[in-house]
Amino acid sequence: MATWGNMMIQDANSALMEQLMFFHDHTIMILSMITIMVAYIMISMLKNKFINRYLLEGQTIEFIWTTLPAITLIFIALPSLRLLYMIDEMNNPSITLKVIGHQWYWSYEYSDFSETEFDSYMKPSNELKTNEIRLMEVDNRTILPMNTQTRVVVTAADVLHSWAIPSLGIKIDAVPGRLNQGSININRPGIMFGQCSEICGANHSFMPIVIESTTTENFLSWIKSM
């Protein structure tokens, strides 16, 4: 998760988030080159003394400053389109997790396992253990197996919410009366934190998300104990 010392994106824990980070770096590199070039041209123009009072048009330079941005946009658009298709791609999910947003907590249902559902509330500060994070820990963590294609179906019971886990590269709007879906495939075991990313009322800041990734055997043992 992001801490006070982190200025960049969280560590990726899914192939999709890795691709998002590659695209971010690719775009930042292009923007940096444009910024440096424009700054150099502006400084050069301010420092030189050359003038041309009779200049009416410059078709060559107009052609160049129209063509170069178009080519640059192609280099940004093509990877972006590829990434959009990757986000929508879903190949034979092994399990389905249904997420329901409430004011102000989350409900989870494991659709493939009967009677496996629970509510997840933020832990109050007076109940936190030494190693737990204030405003981010919940009473019931969501357990998911790693290296398993998981479909996430998201809706809301009252107002708009948004289920977001930055390190997994997933953000799905929770809309009352509508089912939105996404796909995640977690690379390694660990704990991932997220929050509601849609302003949903007075306690919007107090409905965190905690995903705990573990092995398939541990996940099945947890399911049996529910």
Give pLDDT < 70 ranges for the chain: 1-4
The pLDDT, as a whole number, for residue 116 is 84
pLDDT the model gives residue 3: 66
The sign one gets for the Cα dihedral 181, 183, 188, 192 is negative
- In degrees, rounded to 5, the angle at the alpha carbon of residue 28 between the alpha carbons of residues 198 and 30 is 135
Instruction: Give the pLDDT score at 54.
Output: 78
In this structure, what token pair is assigned to residue 140?
Answer: 């019931």
